[in-house]
Amino acid sequence: MKPSSYKFTKNSSAALQDVQLQKALGNVGSGFIDKRKRAVDALPEFEALRIKARQIKDHTLDHLDLYLEQFEQQVIRSGGQVHWARTPAEARQIIVDLCQQAKAKIVTKGKSMVGEEIDLNTALEQAGMEAVETDLGEYIIQLAHESPSHIIAPAIHKTRAQIAELFHEHHAQYGLDAPLDSVSSIVDEARRVLRDKYIRADVGITGANFLIAETGSTVIVTNEGNGDLTASLPKTHIVLASLEKVVPTLEDATVLLRVLARSATGQEITAYTTFFTGPRRQQDLDGPSAFHVVLLDNGRSEMLGNEYRDMLRCIRCGACLNHCPVYQAVGGHAYGWVYPGPMGSVLTPLMLGLKESAELPNASSLCGRCEEVCPMSIPLPQMLRAHRNHEFTEKITPARQRLAMKLWSLMATRPFFYRIASRIMIRTLKAWARGKGTMSRVPLAGAWTGSKDLPAPQGKTFFESWKIKRNHQGKDTR
């Protein structure tokens, strides 16, 4: 998908005023968060698995070249082919060429964030092919000509009524015009439309949650079974994945699967966890006759050697999004590109440039909840701060903000002056409040008071209050 906008402030303001979006976002707290908590609490060894999962990924990243080479050798041994792409443009061209070689007219697609990252659908359509998303959420947003707003629930921003209206508009051509008043009726109608696409598809494209070096297998996890149909019915199966998805062994993959499902959807394991190893063999009853794996770099090799290396441990579970108070308030589209939430605020500047997405590292309160729930213990707040530091040193941050930070640094590193300044500010704000308990307007702080009142200072700084309390406790001791 193409970037829609990097103006997070503008996008988030619009999101806060979108009544339907705010209604839909209510499902995040009551759904993903509660389910994850129950699943984690029910597994006493979850923290041990979390530590093991991190060790597996760190070991793999330390030897990434060796495991990628082993994976390629095993894919070739099983009858498949591996294609290497440095950039999104190279990946798009490789896939378009493979589809044209297969004389594809219809291409079915399983859910793939890397596919969104390289804007694959546009490339296929420009080459004269019909690209059909088969994941229900992806299918919905494809009909709406929108981008995903969540990495595991692409259409979470849509209400049931909006989806029913969308289906009514697009499915009339198939003779389907019955009212859709339940989730089951919506799902059933999507199945009826997509069934014919599965049967007629010439090429199926899926992503991969993991690539297994030991066997040359690719792994996908779904709850709909659409990935299996996409991979097994067409004559050609293309897997699109990024380099860091490789893991050494089948055993390693099982560890990661146990933390992935619980962190993502609160399940012990997803309904469908499927391993694909090469094309159909002579004794197989079904499967593709051609099997291709396209491995995308797109800046990941550079990340491997810099301060953002830990981001390559990400298994795309979405837990950081679900628990982020900012994401919960504005949804995914406010972030402007494929990857939303805390993980997107780290990844987007790395892939598209910090200057173009400078607002995203600041779209966080740095509360640390994202790191706390991340099954791979990725220090997201630390990396967001690193982006902010680069913004400052590279003078991407507006001059007024840089001046404010310099003044703050000047005061914060000089305790004597800090205490004098804070004392003056506290007394000034107390006088400004005119005896009221709150302030509805504060000079130079309109963004804070535009939607809420601020508590008025009581007249003493923290240090003054602490000193009084300490002296009082000292007297009590004597």
Asked if the model's pLDDT at residue 105 lies above 60, the reply is yes
- Residue 173: per-residue pLDDT: 92
Mean pLDDT (the chain) is: 92
d(CA 160, CA 15): 18
Percent of the chain with pLDDT over 90: 77
Pairing of strands 290-296, 236-242: parallel
Q: Which residue did the predictor score with more confidence, 462 or 140?
A: 140
Over range 334-342, report the average pLDDT: 95
Domain presence at residue 132: yes
Distance CA(97)–CA(95), nearest Å, equals 5
CB 241 within 8 A of CB 114: yes
How far is residue 12's CA from residue 295's CA, in Å, rounded to a whole number?
Answer: 34
3-state DSSP assignment of residue 282 = coil
Which residue, among 300, 309, 279, has the nearest Cα to 382 in the 3D structure?
309
Of 397, 364, 394, the C-alpha closest to 381 is 364
The phi-psi region of residue 216 (left if phi > 0; otherwise alpha if psi is between -120 and 50; otherwise beta) is left
* Number of domains the chain contains: 2
Strand partners, 82: 293
7-to-11, 14, 399 alpha-carbon distances in Å = 6, 11, 18
Strand, helix or coil at 298?
A: coil
Residue 450 has pLDDT above 80, yes or no: no
d(CA 179, CA 185): 9
**93 lies in some domain:** yes
**Does 5 have pLDDT greater than 70?**
no
pTM: 0.90
Position 267 in a domain: yes
Of 226-235, 270-279, 363-372, 392-401, the one with minimum mean pLDDT is 392-401
Query: Would you call 400 helix, strand, or coil by DSSP?
Result: helix
Whose CA is closest to 15, among 235, 241, 333? 333
Residues near 67 by Cβ (< 8 Å), separated by ≥ 6?
60, 213, 246, 247, 248
- The answer to the question of residue 64 being in a domain is yes
Q: How far apart are CA 260 and CA 247, in angstroms?
A: 14
Q: Describe the strand order of the beta sheet including 130-133 as a list of residue ranges.
A: 81-85, 290-296, 236-242, 203-206, 106-109, 130-133
Token readout for 315 is 């298994």
Q: State the pLDDT confidence band at 187, using cuts at 50, 70 and 90.
A: very high
Point out the domain boundary residue: 234, 269, 298. Answer: 298
Residue 189 in domain: yes
Query: What pLDDT band is residue 475 in, cutting at 50, 70 and 90?
Result: low
Name the band, by pLDDT with cuts 50, 70 and 90, for residue 423.
confident
Instruction: Note down the domain range covering 226.
Output: 43-298
Domain end point (choices 298, 321, 344): 298
pLDDT reading at 434 higher than 90: no
Identify whether 392 is part of a domain.
no
Tens-digit pLDDT profile for residues 195-251? 999 999 999 999 999 999 999 999 999 999 999 999 999 999 999 999 999 999 999
The verdict on 272 and 124 lying in the same domain is yes
The encoded tokens of residue 78 equal: 């099983």
The total of other beta-carbon atoms located within 10 Å of residue 188's CB is 13
Distance CA 197, CA 106 (A): 7
Span 111-143, pLDDT tens digits: 999 999 999 999 999 999 999 999 999 999 999
Domain final residue pick, 273, 298, 323:
298
- Residue 322, domain member (yes or no): no
Distance in angstroms (rounded) separating the CA atoms of residues 99 and 97: 5
Domain check: are 131 and 276 in the same one? yes
Q: Where does the pLDDT of residue 30 fall: very low under 50, low under 70, confident under 90, or very high at 90 and above?
A: low
- What CATH number is associated with residue 77? 3.40.50.10420
DSSP class per residue in 196-223: HHHHH-SEEEE--SEEETTTTEEEEEES
CB 23 within 8 A of CB 17: no
Query: Does 353 map to a domain?
Result: no
The DSSP element (H or E) to which 276 belongs, if any, is: strand 272-276
